[in-house]
Amino acid sequence: MKLVTLGVFSAVQLFVGQASAVEFDARAQLVDVTRKHQFQPPGVGDLRGPCPALNALANHGFIPHNGIATIDEIVNASMNVFGLGYDLAHLAAIYGTAMSVSTDLSHMSIGGPAPLGSTPANSSVILLVNPGGLDTTHAAFEHDCSATRIDKYIADNGDASTMSLDLFKDLYYRQQGLPDEQVDYNLAIMNDHRMQRTIDSENQNPNFFISPFAGLMHIGASHGLVWQCFSNHSAKYPEGRLDRETLMSFYGVERSHEFVGEHLIYKPGWEQIPVEWYRRALSDPYTALHTSDDLLAAASQHPDLIDKYSMGGNVNGVNTFTVLEADSLTNGAYKRSELRNDHNLVCLGLIAGLLLSPEYLREYYVDYEHNVWPTLMMRLPPLFTDLNCKGVDSVEPRLLDMYPGYNMSLPHNIWRA
């Protein structure tokens, strides 16, 4: 397979001139993983899932080790450990909790369904299906063409949560041949990897589907966050550098010395924050504005990420990707030709994600329009006022019906209580 790459010169050009605007503070940025935050691998019954960052937080006790956490616990840990911005930390925790089918709209399993009775009940929250977790949010929150997870409908037993070592190697060996001191899995590398994963999904997954929330924002953000939030920081690299050892640690990958040459092994759920790891500068949290900049840089590097793969899916087997047009989805409020303007990628991703969420919520919760939906609409839009998003009166959800991958993700086609 020929890897999608950006030439070394172009990769340097993409980021040249971005002089560091942050200062490194070793004492403030060191994440202490000793004593109460010493690494402890998951035990029997502990839940781990598709997000390596959440898995690592649980393994170090920054959120409960059993993998069932509250919105506030996830928000605080994401901000304090990884430097995620207030807006994105709340978006991920609040939206993810609702889409994971929470018994109280406060607790979320970071992996599979939590055992019955392990999360509090809320008399105003009545479920139509069994409680879930991040594992059960495919297309509603999680997505195809992940950096290291296989697409759900081509994975063994539909497992899109366990890391694929082969996909990890695809990313890992993008720096093959470089001396360790020069390795950096930066945004240019992650954008190349994202482009390749997208092409592979179109070619291999007949049910490949990219929702507006995923294609316009979440897929790009999740690839970019690998560098933005896993990089180690230092006086030499105040903006961060992600080397081989750090990448392996955050994905639960180790080297085996039982074989000649380099042999990588994966320990599911063993994601670990390295010792002597320094987070993003406290003065530079990773916000939606940063995400907008990164998405535009990715689109400049690989225009098809927006021109073709912003939203849509295969409609009649592999290699039948059909674009979902922004104009049609939003009744003209957003146009494809304007997606690169201002912060429109993030704006439309967020707006469409919220306005399409009832397609899932109505099958998860009784009376969703009076409990879950108002909660999302009250808590999420105010987080993103800095984006100055253009409003959308409504979207056309029936346009998604042409995509088999979308239909397969709907609750009535998966499981009922």
Q: How confident is the model at residue 379 (pLDDT cuts 50, 70, 90)?
A: very high
CB-CB contact of 134 with 109 (8 Å): yes
Could you give all domains of the chain from N- to C-terminal order, each with its CATH number? Answer: 30-413 (1.10.489.10)
pLDDT tens-digit series, residues 143-181: 999 999 999 999 888 899 999 999 999 999 999 999 999
Instruction: Tell me 405's DSSP state.
Output: H
* Three-state SS at 105: coil
> Does position 391 have pLDDT exceeding 90, yes or no?
yes
Nearest CA-CA partner of 135 in 211, 47, 69, 70: 47
CB-CB contact of 313 with 206 (8 Å): no
Alpha helix (H) residue ranges in 270-403: 288-301, 304-307, 326-329, 344-356, 358-364, 372-379
pLDDT tens-digit series, residues 74-85: 999 999 999 999
Instruction: Tell me 323's DSSP state.
Output: E
| Reported pTM | 0.94
Question: Which has the minimum average pLDDT: 184-193, 197-206, 371-380, 407-416?
Answer: 407-416
Sequential DSSP letters for 46-96: ----S-HHHHHHHHTTSS-TTSEEEHHHHHHHHHHHH-B-HHHHHHHHHHH
β partners of residue 312? 210, 323
CA–CA dist 21, 25 (Å, integer): 13
Tokens read off for 381:
């839009």
pLDDT tens-digit series, residues 233-287: 999 999 999 999 999 999 999 998 776 667 999 999 999 999 999 999 999 999 9
